[in-house]
Amino acid sequence: THFGFQQVPVGEKRQRVAGVFDSVASKYDVMNDLMSFGVHRLWKRFVIDLAGVRAGEKVLDVAGGTGDLSREFSKQVGPRGLVVLSDINAAMLGEGRRRLADKGVVNLPIVQANAEMLPFAEESFDCITIGFGLRNVTDKDKALRSMCRALKPGGRLLVLEFSKPTSQTLSKIYDQYSFKLLPLMGRLVANDEASYRYLAESIRMHPDQQTLKSMMDAAGFGRTQVYNLTGGVVAVHRGFRI
């Protein structure tokens, strides 16, 4: 691959991911809007609608970062429900805590946790989401099993993640964008080219639609369906704990 990240041993990947999110935390939200031209809001809206969270449900937002998804779910579950925001990175959770407080969201517990080893009792949640997070996880199969375990039987997992563009033309444009424009924007706006190179590279290495679907099925999910957004630049996978 372009930058040789594939050679990075497991422990180093974990450190690199930590370094990336420590360094981008304070600029994270602005960069999201900038890099996706605001479209990440529509992708998240799609996941929120597909999740169909109802009053009284228990929802876990894994790798939730600054809490975009959690904030919406907290409106939907109402006073008898529960939303937990979790992430491995303290700096991202710090931003999340500040932003949720700014928006007047209270009663939303925040838990620092690795998606591979979620510290929740089995069968705790009706719905789990992981938005642009699975890509960063070292052992994705382990994380999928860990999320499956924390779901009640019949509960649903929604994975929102970059995926593989379905057309060749789009794929070419997207390559130009992510390997040229993205690092440049990272340098100019966040003074951090390396983190945005990591972003582009991690997207390329992430399993495509079909592979991720098989991984979910192997981890204990059924009726798994894939929804391509923006021509497959992003995909949502929804599966139910069997």
At residue 139, what are phi and psi to the nearest 5 degrees?
-110, 95
Q: Binding marks (x or -) toward ligand SAM, 15..54, rule CB under 6 A? A: --x---x---------------------------------
Size of the site for ligand SAM (CB under 6 A): 19
Interaction of residue 133 with ligand SAM, rule CB under 6 A: yes
Helices 209-219, 140-150: axis angle to 10 degrees equals 50
Residue ranges in 174-213 that form contacts with ligand SAM under rule CB under 6 A = none
CA distance 11 to 3: 18
Task: Please give the full DSSP string across 107-129, using - where no structure is assigned.
Answer: S--EEE--GGG--S-TT-EEEEE
> Which is closer to ligand SAM, CB of 133 or CB of 165?
133
- Among the listed ranges 102-110, 113-121, 145-153, 171-179, the one in contact with ligand SAM (CB under 6 A) is 113-121
> Which is closer to ligand SAM, CB of 82 or CB of 115?
115
| Least gap, CB of 34 to ligand SAM (angstroms) | 13
Helices (H), the chain: 10-24, 28-35, 40-51, 68-77, 90-102, 140-150, 168-176, 182-190, 193-205, 209-219
- When binding is defined by CB under 6 A, the residue of 48, 51, 60, 68 that contacts ligand SAM is 68
Distances (CA, A) of 54 to 43, 59, 71: 20, 10, 14
Residues that bind ligand SAM (CB under 6 A): 17, 21, 63-66, 68, 87-89, 92, 114-116, 131-133, 136-137
